[in-house]
Amino acid sequence: MKQPRRSGAGGRGNRAKTPARRRPGIAGRLVRTSVTLCGLLLLCGVGLFAYEASKLPTIRSLEIPPRPPNVSVIDNTGAIIATRGEGGTPVKLKNLPPYLPKAFVAIEDRRFYQHFGVDPIGLLRAAFTNARAGSVVQGGSTLTQQLAKNLFLTPERSLERKLQEAILALWLEAKFSKDQILEIYLNRVYFGSGAYGVDAAAQRYFGKPAAHVTLAEAAILAGLVKAPTRLAPTRNRDAAEERAQIVLSAMAQSGFISDADAARALGVAVAVASPRSEGSGGYIADWVMDQLNDLVGAYDRDLIVDTTVDPILQAEAEQALVHRLAASGTKFGVSQGAVVLLDPQGAVKALVGGRSYAQSQFNRAVTARRQPGSAFKPFVYLAALERGYRPSTMVNDAPLNLRGWNPENSDRKYRGAVSLTEALALSINTVSVRLALEVGPQAVVQTAKRLGILSPLQANASIALGTSEVSPLELAGAYAAFANGGYGVLPYVVKRVRRASDGKVLFERQGSGLGLAIGPEQVSMMNGMLSQTLRIGTGRAGSVGDWPAAGKTGTSQEYRDAWFAGFTSHLVGVVWLGNDDNSPTKRASGANLPVEIWSEVMTAAHRGIPIADLPGLIREPLTAEGPPDMTTVDDGRPIQVQPRAASAEPANPLDFFRRLFR
């Protein structure tokens, strides 16, 4: 018997129907898609962030790189000749007027004290402003990001660099307080004109330390950071002042100053310091920097270098060279020159390495090596005197033929028998060559090196005419032995090196030199002979007032170089003129433009100085009636004479360095 079918929920026919699931609407799908995309973007961002972080040095090993040290080069009066380095004196935030750091915060990063190194609000605001303007008119980088870029990154503009900048900014914020970050920033940011740091900028543009700047000046400094070259008040005063107005307005809007303060600052006329030109002092500063590592080793603190330079003589030497070249350089086909002044002990009193340091930093006084021509002849004559010759010794001035080489006199005349004094004063080439052959070219080389010539010298007959190249500085150093009574010197300019922070002396020059290089008798004879150059010889255009002076002209082959090297018992001076490309001049010789410059500088340098004679000066007659040691040369063939013992024991140049670094 069939059971009746149950009714109710269990039956198929009466089973309750489940409500149909609603499919998500468009809005829901958009939300879900957006969340997914944001998650993916966040994941990609984190991955990219981690990847860029992995390319940076380990964060824990990062250190704020030390500020490159500054070096102040000082003359012998204590005045600054020039500075080298990238930063001014480090300043503490607490020592600055409060409105100065606030000016930078107002214009560069108004939310500096609210963000964590990267400012999302600032980024959005900058993006909106730039989109509305249709160009980039506002940046989104915080002060911390700018500092990170300056300390650790290159100026490259790329997305990768911006990410690295953000990572480093976060590290800086985690490691330092806001005030510390702002202080580091102010000491490192670039302000144009070679000024790094707010103190250097204040000195450069207003001639005062940062601690003393006014509100108006602070606004100009803060405005500079955006475009240091374009907005520099020394270049574009109007643009600098317009930018300063924007800074003052931003400070007032931020509540850092009142509207009245801003209005008063706008009404102040800011005095901008004139650019300080290094002039020829730049050559000295560069030379000092070349020596510094050898004198004190590696250094990481600011230094003060006291030099021997006399600022008055430096100015006189620069002015004489520049003015004479301007007046006569074209006439003589000369474009460059160098001047060196030493005291007889080797201290550099003035050094001019070219007619314009701004146009060319190549130091022709120290680095250039040129043929000295007849200015080298004193070493030939000294070698002869040390082997028994005397100023009155007669030598034949006649044509020479040395295996096809025919050295000639500049006037192509021959005088027959002449004394050494007359031959040197008149710069007779044939006599110089004969002497070099008779004493031996190697003896001439040894004599020159004993007096401090360090450049390579070729021991051949032509060395008698100055064909081996030397620098003006080392030629001046070699002539100093005649001026000081026979003691060899090596020129120097650094007197002392001190640490700027505490004055600790790191190097101080002690009395030292090459020792006795010329015997007293030879000094006396050489000074007598060289003084005749200015009396009856090629240097007649040169004089130092009433001061006894001596020297020698020099002209190289084809008039490529023109020299005058001369001295008193007070000062040694060398002048070189020529062209950097070694092209011939228009018959510029040591007897014209160089001796005129030398005379002008030396006369100025001796004003007010008590007159003193040259060491051991005894004036012998220009000719003699055949003394016992007379040597003559017949028909152009040199006669070899037996060298005699020198009256001075040659000093070893290495002794100088041993004493210097003992």
* Catalytic residue IDs: 108, 374
CA dihedral 162, 163, 168, 172 (to 10 degrees): 80
How far, in Å, CA of 408 to CA of 432, rounded? 11
How far, in Å, CA of 53 to CA of 58, rounded? 8
Amino acid at site 474: E
Please name which of 231, 235, 245, 134 lies closest in space to residue 191, comparing C-alpha atoms: 231
State the Rg of the chain over Cα: 38
Tokens matching residue 333: 């086909």
Q: 73: which strand partners? A: 82, 305
Per-residue exposure over 314-334, b if at least 16 CB sit within 10 Å of its own CB, e if not? bbbbbbbbbebbeebbeebbb
CA dihedral 410, 413, 417, 418 (to 10 degrees): -40
The secondary structure of residue 486, as a DSSP letter, is: S
CA dihedral 180, 183, 185, 190 (to 10 degrees): -170
3-state secondary structure of 61: helix
Q: 391: which strand partners? A: none
What secondary structure, in 3-state letters, does 178-201 show? HHHHHHHHHHHCECCCCCECHHHH
Please name which of 172, 176, 145, 147 lies closest in space to residue 59, comparing C-alpha atoms: 172
Q: Is 616 left (phi over 0), alpha (psi -120 to 50) or beta?
A: left
Please name which of 140, 147, 134, 141 lies closest in space to residue 175, comparing C-alpha atoms: 147
Alpha carbon 615 to its chain centroid, in Å, reads 36
How far, in Å, CA of 176 to CA of 184, rounded? 10
Please name which of 555, 621, 610 lies closest in space to residue 588, comparing C-alpha atoms: 555
The answer for residues whose C-beta is within 8 angstroms of residue 226's C-beta and 6 or more apart is 107, 243
How far, in Å, CA of 461 to CA of 440, rounded? 8
The secondary structure of residue 464, as a DSSP letter, is: G
The answer for residues whose C-beta is within 8 angstroms of residue 591's C-beta and 6 or more apart is 538, 539, 540, 541, 553, 555
Please name which of 168, 160, 205 lies closest in space to residue 57, comparing C-alpha atoms: 168
Alpha carbon 407 to its chain centroid, in Å, reads 41
- C-alpha angle 197/203/206, rounded to 5°? 120
The Cα-based distances of 545 to 62, 344, 476, 569, 604 in angstroms read 66, 19, 21, 14, 9
537: buried, middle or exposed (CB in 10 Å: 19+, 13-18, 0-12)? buried
3-state secondary structure of 32: helix
- Structural element, H or E, at residue 397: strand 394-397
Tokens matching residue 296: 């004190």
Tokens 């009746």, located at residue: 4
Please name which of 380, 420, 376 lies closest in space to residue 397, comparing C-alpha atoms: 420
Total residues found in the chain within this entry: 662
